Amino acid sequence: MPKRKAAHTRKKGLLARRSLLLAVSVGLLLIVAVASFYAFGSDDSPKPHIRQEPVVSEEAQVTVKVVDRDYEPRELTINKGARVTWKFKGDLPHNVVDDRGAFESPILERGDEWSLTFDDPGTYTYYCTLHHSMQGTLVVLE
């Protein structure tokens, strides 16, 4: 009888150690998964934007600020021949790319500026290739 009891106790101890090891492994995987989500999670998931009013400008020179993950203003209407300057103010690099290929800035960082004169009327929808949730619309009037 004592041998059976000792074998049973060893099996019980081995089972308890395996269960503990499994629980610790699952816990560590959960911690790594959560940490990875916060460290490397997608920044392009749709985020609620604070509402911005569209801007209509009759100026010959207009500025769009590129701050954090947003263009300010997101919607801009200008007259034909106006020059738009995008000023990069945020901590992250960004660019300005028309979704139909009409223009594309290089990737720029804080303190940089990029300008373009719009001589062709139409609606230009643009975005940042690094942060696809960043989108803007420029309407050029005749």
Tokens 């803007």 map to which residue? 136
CB of 90 closer than 8 Å to CB of 79:
no
Is residue 9 pLDDT above 60, yes or no?
yes
Identify the H or E element spanning 65. Answer: strand 61-67
- Taking all residues of the chain, what is their mean pLDDT, rounded to a whole number? 86
More confident residue, 110 or 15: 110
CA–CA gap between residue 92 and residue 114 (Å, rounded):
16
Predicted pLDDT at 41: 47
pLDDT in tens, 53-97: 999 999 999 999 999 899 999 999 999 999 999 999 989 999 999
Which residue among the candidates 1, 8, 49, 128 is catalytic per the annotation?
Answer: 128
Of 83, 74, 78, nearest in space to 103 by CA: 83
Q: How far apart are the two ends of the chain, measured CA to CA in Å?
A: 100
More confident residue, 38 or 78: 78
Determine whether 131 is an active site residue: yes
Tokens 């920044």 map to which residue? 43
Which residue among the candidates 1, 8, 94, 132 is catalytic per the annotation?
Answer: 94
Cα dihedral value 109, 115, 121, 124, nearest 10:
0
CA–CA gap between residue 2 and residue 35 (Å, rounded):
49
> Running DSSP on this structure, what letter comes out for residue 107?
P
Distances (CA, A) of 64 to 36, 49, 130: 34, 17, 18
Determine whether 49 is an active site residue: no
What share of residues in the chain are helix, strand, coil (percent, to 5)? 25, 30, 40
**pTM (2 decimals)?**
0.67
More confident residue, 46 or 117: 117
> Running DSSP on this structure, what letter comes out for residue 12?
H
pLDDT in tens, 92-122: 999 999 999 999 999 999 999 999 999 999 9
Which residue among the candidates 1, 49, 131, 132 is catalytic per the annotation?
Answer: 131
- The band of 6, judged by pLDDT with boundaries at 50, 70 and 90, is low
Predicted pLDDT at 1: 53
Which residue among the candidates 1, 8, 132, 134 is catalytic per the annotation?
Answer: 134
